[in-house]
Amino acid sequence: MDCIFCKIIEGSISSTKVYENENVCAFRDINPMAPVHVLVIPKIHIPSMDGVNNENSKFVAAIFEAIPKIAAAEGLKNGYRVISNCGEDGCQSVKHLHFHILGGKKLPEKMA
Ligand code: 5GP
Ligand code: ZN
């Protein structure tokens, strides 16, 4: 499958991984929007938030269990933001479900 993030999971595209377990992979965004910008993805191909269902939601739970661990390891003591862009209006550019962790500075008050 022609999916950049599946290739990152396989290791055929290189990335700076910051966390990994059986279900989850997290790596630094190639184009960081904040001092800390990590992407957390499921280790199965789910196209977007719209593809989450009863069969695969354990991967999403695993992502949300990993996020506080990653935030702590990244030193985000003062807080952070988690975002998942979905579809056209959400400006999703990579069609493999992912959650952005942004932090390391005071983020803009307005989200949209
Ligand atoms: P989206 O716009 O879909 O929510 O976010 C996709 C994110 O993936 C973008 O922030 C973009 O910089 C990041 N990205 C795209 N291609 C690569 C890549 O090959 N490696 C890494 N580390 N990040 C990528
Ligand atoms: Zn994929």
pLDDT per 10-residue tile (average), the chain, 112 residues: 95 98 98 98 98 98 98 98 98 98 98 92
From the list 45, 96, 98, 100, the catalytic residue is 98
From ligand 2's centre to the CA of 78, what distance in Å? 32
List alpha helices for the chain, DSSP H: 4-10, 57-73
Which residues have C-beta under 5 Å from ligand 2, the single-atom ion? 3, 5-6, 45, 96
Closest CA to 104 of 35, 39, 33: 35
- 46 alpha carbon, closest ligand: 2
100 is catalytic: no
Q: Given this model, what pLDDT does residue 27 score?
A: 98
pTM (predicted TM-score): 0.98
Strand locations in the chain (E): 17-20, 24-28, 36-42, 80-83, 99-103
Ligand 1 atom nearest 90 alpha carbon: 4
Q: Given this model, what pLDDT does residue 1 score?
A: 76
